């Protein structure tokens, strides 16, 4: 059976939507200690959209870059192992993730930043306070 352009596009749309949902849900688990302060500050300030909140249009996947996406991809095997995904679906996901990784590698100068800023003092203090408070 041959796939049509529309069916391939539909598979990719479903894949991207699934990755977006996973990214937004699991971002706190893949952030480095220093990045937690920035994320926590944005959460405290109501920067990210909450469920049906249409006024706030920001979601983590629109803020964090491909570096964070790669961290999520490295966690996908353990996340998928805990899901009720069929073997056929797992094979499809693995193939699409492989395609995505090749695309990102080919276009890395477009999707990956070359310089980073250091966390601000207040971000470090907030992160430290949240860590100690756990």
Note the pLDDT of residue 131: 54
Q: What CA–CA distances, in Å, run from 78 to 54, 74, 100, 114?
A: 32, 9, 19, 29
Q: Are 101 and 71 in contact (CB under 8 A)?
A: no
Of residues 111, 108, 76, 82, the one with CA closest to residue 94: 76
Which long-range contacts (C-beta less than 8 Å, at least 24 apart) are formed by 119-124? 119/34, 119/35, 119/37, 119/38, 122/41, 123/34, 123/37, 123/38, 123/41, 124/34, 124/37
Is the entire prediction scored with pTM above 0.75?
A: no
What the block records as the tokens of 62 is: 């629109």
Note the pLDDT of residue 69: 92
Tens of pLDDT along the chain (134 residues) come to 566 778 888 888 988 888 888 888 889 889 988 788 888 888 888 888 766 655 656 888 888 889 999 999 998 888 888 788 888 888 888 889 999 999 999 999 888 877 767 767 777 676 666 555 54
Note the pLDDT of residue 71: 92
Radius of gyration for the chain, computed over Cα atoms and rounded to the nearest angstrom: 17
Note the pLDDT of residue 18: 87
Note the pLDDT of residue 128: 65
């Amino acid at each position: 059976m041959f796939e049509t352009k529309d069916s391939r596009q539909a598979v990719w749309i479903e894949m991207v939507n699934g990755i977006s949902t996973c990214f937004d849900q699991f971002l706190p688990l893949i952030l480095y200690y220093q990045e937690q302060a920035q994320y926590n500050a944005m959460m405290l300030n109501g920067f990210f959209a909450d469920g049906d909140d249409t006024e706030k249009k920001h979601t983590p996947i629109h803020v964090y870059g491909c570096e964070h996406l790669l961290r999520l991809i490295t966690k996908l095997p353990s996340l998928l192992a805990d899901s009720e995904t069929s073997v056929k679906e797992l094979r499809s996901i693995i193939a699409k993730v492989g395609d995505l990784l090749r695309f990102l590698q080919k276009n890395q100068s477009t999707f990956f930043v070359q310089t980073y800023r250091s966390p601000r003092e207040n971000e470090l203090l907030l992160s430290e306070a949240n860590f100690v408070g756990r």
